[in-house]
Amino acid sequence: MHLTLPYNYESTNGWGCYKPDENRSYTILIGKNDKVVCYQGLIYFPIETPTTFNLKEKSLTTEIRIRNKQVLKYSASIGRPDRGINVIIKPSKDCNYGNFVAILDQMQINNIQSYNVINTFTPEEQLLLSKS
């Protein structure tokens, strides 16, 4: 299994305390009725307005591919060309298993090397899902 370890740019030897880079974070909230809400950055300060997608359409595949290319370009500009997007997948209680698997398939289709599954939501994320 490949393990991605955190990187600290300020330490002299390259390893140390993890400081998350919101420019690399992309969160996918999986809701009900084939809807997902995605945002890049932190929920309090998203880099762009959160976007709602329907999993029956192909637009999420394109979105993930575009975001990953942007992050690779950003990472190269700070001296880490191999650091792509870090996707955080958050399935809600209302999502079905098929939609969860569809998102995992997107990670393989788009060759996303770093992704996590978390089942906790902030109140702001719950609000985003309820509006979609």
Residues 61-95 as b/e (b if ≥16 CB within 10 A, e otherwise) read eebbbebbebbbebbeeeeeeebbbbbebbbbeeb
Q: What is the pTM of this model?
A: 0.82
Q: Which residue has the tokens 């209680």?
A: 93
Helix (H), strand (E), coil (C) string for 38-98: EEEECCCCECCCCEEEECCCCHHHHHHHHHHHHHHHHHHHCCCCCCCCEEEEEECCCCCHH
In tens, the pLDDT along 57-103 reads: 888 999 999 999 999 998 888 888 888 899 999 999 999 999 999 99
Per-residue pLDDT of 18-31, as tens digits, reads: 456 788 899 999 99
